Amino acid sequence: MFGIHVKKGRVRSILESMIWDPRLEPREFRIVFVSRGSPNNLEEVRGDEIEVKGDRIVLRDGREIPHHRIAAIWKGKEPLYLKKDI
């Protein structure tokens, strides 16, 4: 169903599938994003801890993360998206 892709719009497609496909459980997804000042400049959230709004995700604390800052998306141990240049 998914694979490792870096073309434009792939992040949004994966996130929308995670939310709208009734066969998928958002809590099984991990989204890793660039977060300056965090250890390794990366943070991770589960799919059930975000809201998807257009070209960004919104965290429970209100921070908005644009899709271009998403470094990886995993479903369990399967990488669905890995950004080459983080």
Residue 28 lies in a domain: yes
Residue 72 lies in a domain: yes
Q: What is the pTM of this model?
A: 0.86
| pLDDT tens per residue across span 22-51 | 999 999 999 999 999 998 999 999 999 999
Secondary structure class of 46 (helix, strand, coil) = strand
**Residues of the domain holding 30:** 10-82
25: tokens are: 């459980």
Tally of domains in the chain:
1
Residue 50 lies in a domain: yes
Strand segments (E) across the chain: 29-34, 42-46, 50-53, 56-59, 64-66, 70-75, 78-82
Residue 56 lies in a domain: yes
Confidence bin at 7 (pLDDT 50/70/90): low
| CATH number assigned to the domain comprising residue 53 | 2.30.30
